[in-house]
Amino acid sequence: MPKNKKITIKTEVVNGKCPDCRQDTILVSVVPEFYRCSLCGSDLKQHINGKISYIPTMQLNDKEKNDLVSKNGQTEF
């Protein structure tokens, strides 16, 4: 990586209830819509359907992978 190239990371920290450890916790996101529980480390996907809920995620599908890649081929954070 060239020395003059900068990486910008946009994080989001929210309060929520983890469905895996069932605790009120802090959820941290580096990639939009995907969060990690600060207590148990579970990866969660945010769903909004009248209320915000977090669902355990196993693996990204192809559409989700493509959504995370910007126009220039770099992963967006």
Instruction: Identify the band that residue 77 occupies on the pLDDT scale cut at 50, 70 and 90.
Output: very low
Residues 6+ apart with CB under 8 A from 57: 34, 43, 44, 45
Residue 27 has pLDDT above 90, yes or no: yes
Residue 71 is predicted with a pLDDT of 45
Bridge partners (DSSP) listed for residue 55:
45
Q: How far is CA 65 from CA 5, 9, 23, 47, in A?
A: 24, 18, 29, 17
45 CB-contact burial (10 Å; exposed 0-12 / middle 13-18 / buried 19+): middle
* Mean pLDDT (whole number) for 30-49: 89
Residue 13 is predicted with a pLDDT of 94
Question: Is the whole model's pTM more than 0.75, yes or no?
Answer: no
Q: Domain locations in the chain?
A: 12-62
Higher pLDDT, 41 or 63: 41
Residue 24 is predicted with a pLDDT of 95
